[in-house]
């Protein structure tokens, strides 16, 4: 991953956009951030996804969920079920070479983004983590999915997109 691309994507995602970058979707660059952190005291991997609400809404509509009005007071009561299903279909994680299942915990709204939370219990030792992410790739050609993995005080990052949907880190 090139540091310049990574830095630009992170800065843009966290609100440093100019007036000229605002498109009909509210932003011209499409990016998600996934944080994976090993919690050795609980033997879990804690996962959080930050996604633009309108981008996720578009992907869920494409998947047949209909209008959910994510992050609004009128949000459809089935929204969490649709989000959990979508994320489980588009994010795969392998720990130490073995595929694992994760459990969706819920979400929070932050401005025009959603934080979605999940966990993988029973994870006492982590040497390698492989992540496959096709999140929002079916909707946006320029979609970039940043993945930050923290294990034992070390942080490593991946940049996944249409060209590379899977990558791994070793600790």
DSSP letter for each residue of 63-116? TT-----TTSTT--TTHHHHHHHHHHHHEEEEETTEEE--EEEEEEEETTEEEE
pLDDT at 5: 46
Decide which of 25 and 98 is more confident: 98
pLDDT over 90, % of the chain: 81
Q: What is the pLDDT of residues 142-160, one digit of tens each?
A: 999 999 999 999 999 999 9
pLDDT at 35: 98
Evaluate whether 92 touches 123 at the Cβ level (below 8 Å): no
Q: What is the pLDDT of residues 36-69, one digit of tens each?
A: 999 999 999 999 999 999 999 999 999 999 899 9
């Amino acid at each position: 991953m090139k540091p310049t691309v990574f830095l630009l994507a992170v800065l843009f995602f966290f609100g440093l956009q100019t007036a000229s970058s605002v498109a009909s979707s509210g932003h011209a660059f499409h990016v998600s951030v996934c944080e994976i952190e090993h919690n050795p005291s609980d033997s879990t991997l804690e996962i959080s996804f930050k996604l633009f609400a309108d981008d996720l809404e578009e992907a869920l509509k494409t998947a047949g969920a209909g209008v959910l009005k994510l992050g609004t007071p009128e949000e459809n009561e089935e929204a969490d079920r649709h989000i959990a299903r979508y994320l489980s279909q588009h994010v795969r994680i392998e720990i130490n070479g073995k595929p694992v299942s994760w459990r969706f915990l819920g979400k929070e709204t932050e401005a025009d983004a959603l934080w979605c939370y999940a966990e993988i219990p029973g994870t006492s030792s982590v040497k390698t983590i492989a992540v496959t992410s096709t999140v929002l790739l079916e909707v946006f050609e320029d979609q970039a999915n940043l993945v930050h993995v923290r294990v034992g005080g070390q942080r490593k990052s991946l940049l996944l997109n249409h060209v590379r949907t899977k990558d791994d880190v070793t600790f």
